[in-house]
Structure 1
Amino acid sequence: MTPTITAFERSPDGGKGLARDTRVRWALEEVGQPYAVRLVSFQAMKEPAHLALHPFGQIPTYEEGDLALFETGSIVLHIAERHAGLLPDDANARARAISWMFAAVNTIEPPILELVTARILESDKPWTWERMPLVVDRVRDRLRQLAARLGDADWLDGKFSAGDLMMVSVLLRLRMSGILDEFPNLAAYVARGEARPAYKRAFAAQLAVNTSELPTA
């Protein structure tokens, strides 16, 4: 059965691959699973039909038969468990890959999102620029730890896995800040993720939505 995911009718980032449906698209592309996309407007995201799929009124969601999921981490994990290619066969390596998925969204992403929020949504607040050095330092602290763990390896734990997919997706949010460039091995790590054919297909699909003309009534 072909799964259906939801995505922004028009993404706030204009199709730069930062909307979270890109992570799900990437996972589906990595495992070779065809999928359908249902585009939703910001208004539709707050309506009962969408809230029944995602109680917080966000995207993406994932529907497959009578299964409906929300939250990218859970969707990507489901895809990785259902199809070969994103989780190792060895049980211990599999568990470590899942740990990196959690690390990406629970440890690395929160300070990055705090930085994004401060720069984009709170830039007009008088206290934003006073606290900005603290926000940036928290991001750097996490990147320093991650860079030390990655070292000169290509991926976080052996071969590319769902853990890398989630981690690269999170780190991509730093592209415009310049902070990632302070950590050459992490910048190279992200570039390797972006160079994967599956990522390129996912990015192109998300970009196409945001560069196409919407039908007029």
Structure 2
Amino acid sequence: MNKIVVWGFRWAPPFAQGLVRDLRVRWALEEAGQAYDVELIDFQERHAAAHRRRQPFGMVPAFEADGRGLFESAAIVHRIAADSAALMPADAHARAEVLTWMFAALNTVEPPIQNLLEMDLLHAGEPWVELRRPAVVAAVTERLAALSAALAGRDHLVDRFTAADILMTTVLRFLRHTELVAGFPLLDAYVKRCEARPAFRRALDQQMADFARHAPVAA
């Protein structure tokens, strides 16, 4: 890859800081040893024509490398991993296994977790949440139990750290406002193991520094 640019938000509310999905892309680039620039936008800029050309749905991240753009965090992480032995094995069968876990993180594990995150952080106190939340927690717990069983005897989703662990860890971090992951010691240790990686710390620190620099000034 030549020049790489990642787009993220200039600032996010405290409950979302460290969870915005450009973190996945920054982490992957740090693991791959790829230099990159970060361009930041305000929430209002999501709707601007220039950003919609980069990201049709007005979200972040957006990504550009070699003059070609991509959107959707998992697609970007896969693009980075495809060129990185650190994130994707060379063997075809092993690559397919990593890809399977990448899809599992986004298609199987994330949806109920995202539901719970939105209920707890965006709709807290609304009457319907009290009625709906127990069923959503049950769905999350079921997914966590299955994932914990799959991780038994492993440090990572496959035989070493890969792009799949970036996606799965960032999905599980959406539960940081709860004790649900802590209820599964294998998962808790897995998340802490991945978060302890120097590349993750660099990516997180950089994102948080961006937010701190652009924090709204109190009136």
User: Under a length normalisation based on structure 2, what TM-score does the superposition of the two structures give?
Assistant: 0.94
Structure 1 stretches lacking a partner, 5+ long: none
Alpha carbons of 1:29 and 1:15: their partners in 2 closer, same or farther (altered >3 Å)? farther
Give the aligned partner of residue 169 of structure 1.
170
Q: CA 1:173/1:15 → structure 2, altered by over 3 Å: closer, same or farther?
A: closer
Structure 2 portions without partners, runs of 5+ = none
1:166-193: per-residue Cα shift (whole Å, max 9, x none)? Answer: 1011101111111111100000000000
Query: Cα deviations across residues 100-144 of structure 1 (Å, max 9, x unaligned)?
Result: 111101110000000011112222321110111001000000000
State the identity as a percent: 44
Q: CA deviation at 1:41?
A: 0.4
1:65 Cα deviation (Å)? 2.9
Task: Give the direction of change, closer, same or farther, for the CA distance of 1:16–1:203 in structure 2 (3 Å limit).
Answer: same
Give the aligned partner of residue 37 of structure 1.
38
SS at match of 1:203: helix
Please give the per-residue CA displacement for 1:25-63, whole angstroms capped at 9, x wherever unaligned.
000000000000000001111110000111110000001
Segment drifting more, 81-90 vs 158-167: 81-90
1:114/1:51 Cα in 2 relative to 1: closer, same or farther (>3 Å)? same
How many angstroms apart in 2 are the aligned matches of 1:185 and 1:102? 21
Code of the residue aligned with 1:73 in structure 2: it is A
Write the distance in 2 (CA, Å) between the matches of 1:204 and 1:157: 27
Separation (CA, whole Å) in 2 of partners of 1:14 and 1:6: 20
Q: Which residue of 1 aligns with 2:85?
A: 84
Q: Give 1:12-31 correspondences, 5 Å limit.
A: 12-13=13-14, 16-31=17-32
Q: 1:15–1:211: 8 Å Cα contact kept in structure 2? A: no
Q: 2:181 matched to which residue of 1?
A: 180
Q: Distance in 2 between matches of 1:180 and 1:215?
A: 32
Per-residue deviation, 1:17: 1.7
Map 1:185-204 onto structure 2 (within 5 A).
185-204=186-205
Q: Report deviation, 1:90.
A: 1.2
State how far apart, in whole Å, the 2-side matches of 1:215 and 1:180 are.
32
Give me the CA root mean square deviation: 1.5
Divergent runs of 4+, >6 A: none
- Alignment partner of 1:2 is 2:3: yes
How many equivalent residue pairs? 216
Q: 2:102 matched to which residue of 1? A: 101
CA 1:213–1:168 in structure 2 vs 1: closer, same or farther (change >3 Å)?
A: closer
CA distance in 2, matches of 1:14, 1:8: 14
Q: Is the 8 A contact 1:20 1:72 kept in 2?
A: yes
Deviation at 1:11, TM superposition (A): 1.9
Aligned equivalents of 2:13, 2:21: Cα separation in 1:
11
